[in-house]
Amino acid sequence: MTATPNYDDEFDAIVVGAGLSGTAAALTMAKDGLDVVMLERGPSPGSKNVFGGVLYTPRIRELTDLSDAPKERYVAKKTYSMLSDAGDETSMSIAPAAWREEPHNDSWMVLRRDFDEWFADQAVEAGATLITETTVTDLIREDGTVVGVETDRPNGTLRAPVVVLGEGANSLVSEGAGLKRQDDRDNVAVSAKEVRKYDREKLEDRFHLDGEAGLAAHYFGDGAVGDAVGGAFLYTNKRTVSIGVVYSIEDAAHGERTPDEVLDQFKQHPAVAPLVRGGRMVEYSAHAIPEGGPDSMPDLVHDGAVIVGDAAGLVLNSGIHLEGTNMAVESGFHAGQAIADALDRGRSDAAALESYEQRLEESYVVQNLDHYGWFMDTAAEEKEFLFEELPHALGDATEEYFRMDDRPKDEHVSDAKSHILNASGGWFGMAKKAWKFRKMLS
């Protein structure tokens, strides 16, 4: 055979996983003139990605020109609905005029299969190398320093000064190599999602959309995910709708229903059924999402390695916000810069890479995580109130408030109030809860 070169230490960095975080790191480094190789287990980046749908693009827009990116629709409207299992729906809808203008609040529905591939292509165009169908199985360490990776291929070790772990939520490599504890069970949410395909015109009529405008709908309460802590979502793409449920794995393990069944139940809710009627299921997937908040963040920097994106627990799943894409990209970007700086000084030890962690701490990423970190705990504590009593009370209250009968309006109003008060434990309880959840919408 013609000779095969050896690529050990031919690259400045190895990126594990060509998802958003890994690609952002590779792109940042490549733009800085570094030689980077991305190792991706899928046949193409994003091919295995299941994700609800809103990509937040502030940093990506700075890293590359987004105008040709495969995007589906921008978020023109968000709705939040409380669903009770009795069939009630109480909802709020937000559609600021500003969202209809560029850059559309940096919120786009995308299909990750298309987007991730395109994004990785940007990194390749900037000079990075993408090697697919290659799964990293372990890290090579010498004297505690990470000096390369081991893959599932023959002659499958590859060495480089720095390894970037952007392997996503199921971070087997980081865990296996001891860079990260295995997530506690209650720090992980499960999700089930399906994508249904519709005629484009029918879809736009059904959701009152035109052009690139899209809807991001969020649902809570026992009508959405039963008695588990979590929520459900519905996002409109160009010709498809993504519908899914996300809830705490603890509930999933203890409850009787599978994610599949929870999703089915959600789809049958009277507020949801007409929205997903017809069409054809083109995709189904189930997945784990870390939701631990700042406490479960591992050490991000090691000798010869950094952890980025979901692998680093950088997901915000507050019930109101489900964000990971922006933090994945942001972390990849800061990691990339930190690595470039360190290599510039001829170093790749933890101390030299430390600036990644500092930059991230100064960015909105860690600040947001701190801000919302308490939420999951509070939500779990108040699970019954938030996910069962409140949706019912809201349903009953609004029904009472607007009831058409022979009683005077005053009576309806006061009955409506008492529905909510009862659920909240009277005025005192209500005030306490309001205090507790004040941050939820801020």
Ligand X SMILES: Cc1cc2nc3c(=O)[nH]c(=O)nc-3n(C[C@H](O)[C@H](O)[C@H](O)COP(=O)(O)OP(=O)(O)OC[C@H]3O[C@@H](n4cnc5c(N)ncnc54)[C@H](O)[C@@H]3O)c2cc1C
Q: Which two tokens stand for residue 177?
A: 């190599």
| CA distance from start to end of the chain | 64
Regarding 197 and contact with another protein (CB under 8 A), the answer is yes
132-191: contacts with another protein (CB under 8 A): 134, 151-158
Smallest gap from Cβ 155 to another protein, in A, equals 4
Least Å distance, CB 91 to ligand X, is: 18
Least distance between ligand X and beta carbon 306 (Å): 12
Q: What is the C-alpha separation between 441 and 329, in angstroms, rounded?
A: 24
Among 11, 21, 83, 272, binds ligand X (CB under 6 A): 21
With respect to another protein, which residue has the nearer C-beta, 6 or 182?
6
Based on the shown chain and the rule CB under 6 A, indicate whether residue 56 belongs to the binding site for ligand X. yes
Say which amino acid occupies 268: Q
Helices 325-344 and 20-31, packing angle to 10 deg: 30
Chosen residue from 11, 17, 177, 241 binding ligand X by CB under 6 A:
17
Q: Does 441 bind another protein (CB under 8 A)?
A: no
Question: Residue 168's binding partner, choosing from ligand X, another protein, none, with beta-carbon cut-off 5 to 8 A by kind?
Answer: ligand X
What tokens were used for 365? 């990423």
Nearer to another protein, 6 or 358 (CB): 6
Residue among 60, 68, 71, 75 at smallest CA distance from 25: 60
Picking from 389, 396, 431, 388, the residue whose alpha carbon sits closest to that of residue 415 is: 396
Is residue 363 classed as helix, strand or coil in its secondary structure?
coil
Alpha carbon distance 235, 81 (integer Å): 14
Nearest residue (CB) to ligand X, 22 versus 395: 22
Q: What track of x and - describes contact with ligand X for positions 135 through 154 (by CB under 6 A)?
A: xx------------------
Q: Taking CB under 8 A as the criterion, which residues in 229-288 touch another protein?
A: 280
In 47-173, DSSP assigns E strands to 54-56, 73-83, 89-94, 107-109, 129-131, 136-142, 145-151, 157-159, 162-165
Q: What is the CA radius of gyration of the chain?
A: 23
Instruction: Please tell me what DSSP assigns to residue 387.
Output: I
- For position 404 contacting another protein by CB under 8 A, the verdict is no
**Looking at 173, 339, 386, 393, which residue binds ligand X (CB under 6 A)?**
173
Confirm if 36 and 345 have CB atoms less than 8 A apart: no
What is d(CA 414, CA 389) in angstroms, rounded to the nearest whole number? 18
Residue 42 near which of ligand X, another protein, none (CB within 5-8 Å, type-dependent): ligand X
Q: Which residues bind ligand X (CB under 6 A)?
A: 16-22, 39-42, 45, 48-54, 56, 135-136, 166-168, 173, 191, 193, 244, 246, 287, 289, 309-311, 315, 322-326, 328
* Residues engaged in binding another protein (CB under 8 A): 1-2, 4-7, 37, 43-44, 129, 131, 134, 151-158, 197, 199, 280
